[in-house]
Amino acid sequence: SAKGTIVFFAMQYNVTYTTDDNSDQFHFYDYGPKDIATIFFYMLVAISLHAVIQEHILDKINRRLRLSKTKHSKFNESGQLAFFYLFSFIWGASILNAVKFMMNPTSLWEDYPHSHMLFQVKFFYICQIAYWLHALPELYFQKIQKEDIPRQLCYICLYIAHITGAYILNFQDLGLILMVPHYFVELIFHASRLFYCIDENQQKGFTIWTLLFVMVRLLTLTLSVLTFGFGLARVENPGFSIADGNFNVLPVRIGCLGAVCLTQAWMMWKFINFQLKKWREHVKNQIPKKKVANTKNKRTKKEPNRG
């Protein structure tokens, strides 16, 4: 029926406010169990879009480039994620620009709980959760190599946990502000990896990614500490109420801050190991070149002067 199908594609839990003179109406949205059906529908949409991008764009490029098996897998992964990060970054940045979150950072904790969302904010979160849930069955559909499954499964589950947590605990504003720069950095990385798969000499993008990666980690930690450690601890309405959407209690704040800090520490650890691995490979490649150069110099010295 129409009432049953509309749950799958329309945003649910609409809340309308009117002014005293009933001249203006403001539409907001809450969350609830019906969002599961909406997320499921958009997860199917994400699977369809994934297949279209893979078949009509990435596979055609792969046939022309004739990449190796390892590069083929990396090219497909980075190609899909680059499309998603680009779309999400533009969408998230447009929301921040429209709502003016960055003009007043204290809005992250003032008037908490932020239980009522604008349509575009709720739709953004629904699509984000749906996309990362769709990535789980894609591990089977795309026939990912067994050695790559644990790595991809790890970051997919981290995305699902953090985005869903921000959505349910009414930290949508903070989550949105943290997602936009993070997606921008990930976009640069996967775009750089695409160019690297095509031409191994194209590595300038990784240098830009290295600088921005560290800056975004510091930004994430700073905003998280300010929000959970100082801002929410000083608001006027601390307490726990599921009905009101208020989760401003010490265990929740510590849990959220701990999750963010541990995730950022883990990402920095992976980042440092990645940079050390690249440095070691660079040193190994330089040693044979130095040996060849030294042997050439010795030969030129031994040759008699025929002048």
Averaged confidence pLDDT in the chain: 87
Closest CA to 37 of 2, 5, 8: 8
> What pLDDT score does 300 carry?
62
Backbone angles phi, psi at 77, to 5 degrees: -65, -50
- Residue 11 has what DSSP assignment? P
> What pLDDT score does 295 carry?
64
Give domain limits for the chain. 1-286
The pTM of this model reads 0.88
Q: Hunting for tokens 């390892």 — which residue is that? A: 70
pLDDT tens per residue, range 152-194: 999 999 999 999 999 999 999 999 999 999 999 999 999 999 9
| Torsion sign, CA atoms 275, 277, 282, 287 | positive
- Whether 178 contacts 269, CB under 8 Å: no
CB atoms within 10 A of CB 260: 21
pLDDT tens per residue, range 57-110: 998 998 888 888 778 888 999 999 999 999 999 999 999 988 776 567 788 888
307 pLDDT band, cuts 50/70/90, is very low
> What pLDDT score does 133 carry?
97
- Whether 260 contacts 221, CB under 8 Å: yes
